[in-house]
Structures are given as structure tokens and as C-alpha cells.
Amino acid sequence: MILQVKIENKIVELSLSEKEKVLDALSFAEDHDLASNLLPNIDKLLKRNKLQPKDIEKMELKTDIAESYTSFRIAKAVEDAFNWSRKIR
């Protein structure tokens, strides 16, 4: 299962997919508060689907935000940390 974080046009969409089929999605506005909203919404999506972080193979980030923006760096740090934690288990 893949957790995708997509940020485009100031909308964050989180989706769970398996074999390119989207199983569930959740979206919220990105209003310069990604640091306080990203992880709680990921948790909400996982709980709604009765999943644990260990059930996710990897996280992917797709965005139209430039790498120099803080929102990009926050999302990228979450993606990197999640994927790193999957490798050490």
C-alpha cells in the first residue's frame, strides 16, 4: 500500500492506493499551517481505514511547490522520515 501526499494549488490531498487503485483519500487546504496539519491528517486517514503505519510500504510526495518553500520542506521531511523508518524495520 502506498500513501501519496499531493500538494497542488494550495490543496493537500492524501490518498491510499494499492496497485494503482485509490482506496481512500482525504484533502484539506494548505494555508501556511502544513506543519500542524499534515501528520494529524495522515493519522486520520490511516485510522479511518483501520491501518497502522507499518501497513504502508512507502510514502510518495507530488507537488507543484518550489523546493525553496517551507511547505515543500515540511512535506519532504515527513516523506523522507517515513520512508527511512520503513527501511530499518
Domain of 16, CATH number, reads 3.30.420.40
Question: Alpha helices, DSSP H only, in 4-69?
Answer: 34-48
Sheet with 21-29, strands from edge to edge, namely: 21-29, 11-18, 2-8, 58-63
The model's pLDDT over 50-68, given as tens digits with 9 standing for 90+, comes to 999 999 999 999 999 888 8
Half-sphere exposure of 46 (CA within 13 A, CB side): 18
**Domain range spanning residue 16?**
2-87
The answer, yes or no, to whether residue 88 has pLDDT greater than 80, is no
How many domains does the chain fold into?
1
Please report the pLDDT score of residue 86 as a whole number.
86
The answer, yes or no, to whether residue 38 has pLDDT greater than 60, is yes
